[in-house]
Structure 1
């Protein structure tokens, strides 16, 4: 089925039929204008079914488009918590498995990137890296989704964990350690949604170093004790 683009007051959508496949939110500016991160749109036009038309519905009353079932954009879990705004920038298909082989999502793995966010994006989009994560949260608080929730991202270095988990990266470098306030707020919002959506107990919110021999996420939390205190305060 052919794809097309729809613009509304709040976002631009990559549409297929009556549902959206991907969405880019507009961010309000102080002067009343809105800005848009167009990086994900580059990928839209690389698709075999690249969009060939566009509908502009700015200023037109009506509901926002709904996500196509199975795309990983659906909001609301058992408690009906809405999914936070995300920018979808797809990882290279060689860096994830487009199925979970029957495994249920029951774990969230907390990571830090070590390098700036664009470097992490480039790595996840490389055809040779064999690594990805479902989400990256940058220093500004923007949530970037690179792998659909129902796909298996290669983030933990442990197949058993990858099969059952969602990986959440946080931009941090040796020169920029710890959360920014906006980043922490987005992290809490996203993780609360994921816990709710998949019925994950907070005991299964873990650090990367707890499932593999690594220092990650030492640029955010120096010890797992600090991480667990943060978990207890926020979830």
Structure 2
């Protein structure tokens, strides 16, 4: 299942996240993921596993995402070349600014550098992570180029509806990180487990299927063959309107698990 980006390219809706997967294990995990059927692999410079991810994707037709860390926003070209060398590729499919880091006030200049990287063919599509509307407005006003993707923390306990509405209005794909809430509370939530029982599916599949039904791109992390297979099987789980409405009702004001983008 592919999504069309605002630059005309397509991206798999479901991908494999590699946060917290050690470099020494990354090649094996990525290979397992590709064998399972995943065709999008998400990594980042700060994960420290680009070398391993590159080993896992060797010569495969895979959509590769990596990200620019905060301390390289004024050194984008060199950071990109380092990531490409570690991954063993000439270009990535998607390059993202990892956080706006507004206190540095460098993200607009970094975005201009990403545009140049796209023009040079080193990044086929470009986007951001964890950007808020004011940051996105600044990028668009300065360059006229709208990010293809904004990857944000998003799960049933933290649904980011206002930001998603902004994305929809501007043609930005919303990509969910920590889509199953890092497993904290969400997979044992009675609403989720009841829906899972009714469909004879796992709680994780139900949550991933909710993201897919909402038109979100989703990149759950998994390392074991069982979890990879379980997550991938969410592609053929069709939730009904009542299921979706019940999950929609789980949103809560204190649902954020990760850092506040304004303080990073």
Q: TM-score of the superposition, structure 2-length normalised?
A: 0.27
Higher strand share: 1
